[in-house]
Amino acid sequence: MSDYFRDRRVVVTGGAGFLGRFVTEGLRRRGCRGIEIPLVEQYDLVKAADIVRMYETMQPDVVIHLAAVVGGIGANRERPAEFFYQNLMMGVQLIEQARLYGVEKFVAIGTVCAYPKFTEVPFKEEDLWAGYPEETNAPYGLAKKMLLVQSQAYRRQYGFNSVFLLPVNLYGPGDNFDPATSHVIPALIKKCVDALDVGRDHIVCWGTGEASREFIYAADAAEGILLATEHYNGVEPVNIGAGSEVRIKDLAHKIAELTGFAGEIRWDASKPDGQPRRCLDVSKAKAQFGFEAKTPLDVGLKETVDWYKATRRAGPV
């Protein structure tokens, strides 16, 4: 760790959210005394006036932009316009007003959904423009991808230091377990635990189970983001991932075993699989700012399952 954050004021949009809590915790460990979190109740970051007011009030040196409208395949299919508009307008206006305000550095968080549907595995940053994203999450992926275009354009014309990171699918304690908007790991955990609660002998999962995904423990992703904020000032995007993939079918069996669900896992092939494979080349993050994910998938899954079970006993999630 360096002293980079010690005397800088850092705004973390989405700082009260799942990934944001790990990022702000990491900032505190680094001795940052000026952490600012714009809460949704006070600032609508889709509106330029609220963004201006936020910058004037919080006076950041650095902005880490995590806030996003996100969800799984179902939510992306049902709300494509909302996912495109809100994510695009938040990011574009935050970067523009940061430039006008004189922010020292802007860290834009993209998404693995920005990659083309059919990308050679492992995904290299140079392949980002080699095709169109998978259809169900293209509006979200493209909205985020435009922040890379903006970051590079602003660097060329204005000398504005905006960097762009591409994290893979996140998971961990504190994840979103709402079935309407959750991603695959919390969705599978909830299905298994709910089935145990009511004595159901099977669960039904979307797709064929043959697609693969890469997952990174949220605390590891936060560390990667903070290392990049400290040490990376390049123009090119950088992947943040674990560097390995797992079939969704195998993931479901891992989660069933960890939760204690011994029933049948059925697959509804009428529902989409999404992108066929996802696995990132993570060599650039290691080379540029020394980041490597530390948490094995089996360890992270157990901690997530244990957290969810404990939280359910304490009260509703």
- pLDDT of amino acid 74: 79
Residue in this structure with the two tokens 């950088």, named with its chain if needed: 238
- pLDDT of amino acid 272: 87
The tens digit of pLDDT for each residue in 183-198 reads 899 999 999 999 999 9
- Total residues found in the chain within this entry: 317
- pLDDT of amino acid 131: 97
What 3-state class would DSSP assign to 107? strand
Coarse DSSP helix, strand, coil percentages of the chain, rounded to the nearest 5 percent: 45, 15, 40
**What's the average model confidence in pLDDT over 224-252?**
98
Domain boundaries, the chain: 9-172+214-243+276-295
The answer to whether residue 314 scores a pLDDT higher than 70 is no
**What's the average model confidence in pLDDT over 103-131?**
97
Active site amino acids: 140
The answer to whether residue 260 scores a pLDDT higher than 70 is yes
Structure tokens at 6: 């010690």
Those residues whose C-beta lies under 8 Å from the C-beta of residue 136, and which sit 6 or more positions away, are 73, 76, 77, 272, 274
C-beta separation of 63 from 103 below 8 A: yes
**What's the average model confidence in pLDDT over 205-215?**
95
Which numeric CATH code is attached to 9-172+214-243+276-295?
A: 3.40.50.720
pLDDT-derived band at 1 (thresholds 50, 70, 90) equals low
More confident residue, 245 or 183: 245
The tens digit of pLDDT for each residue in 4-31 reads 999 999 999 999 999 999 999 999 999 9
**What's the average model confidence in pLDDT over 45-62?**
98
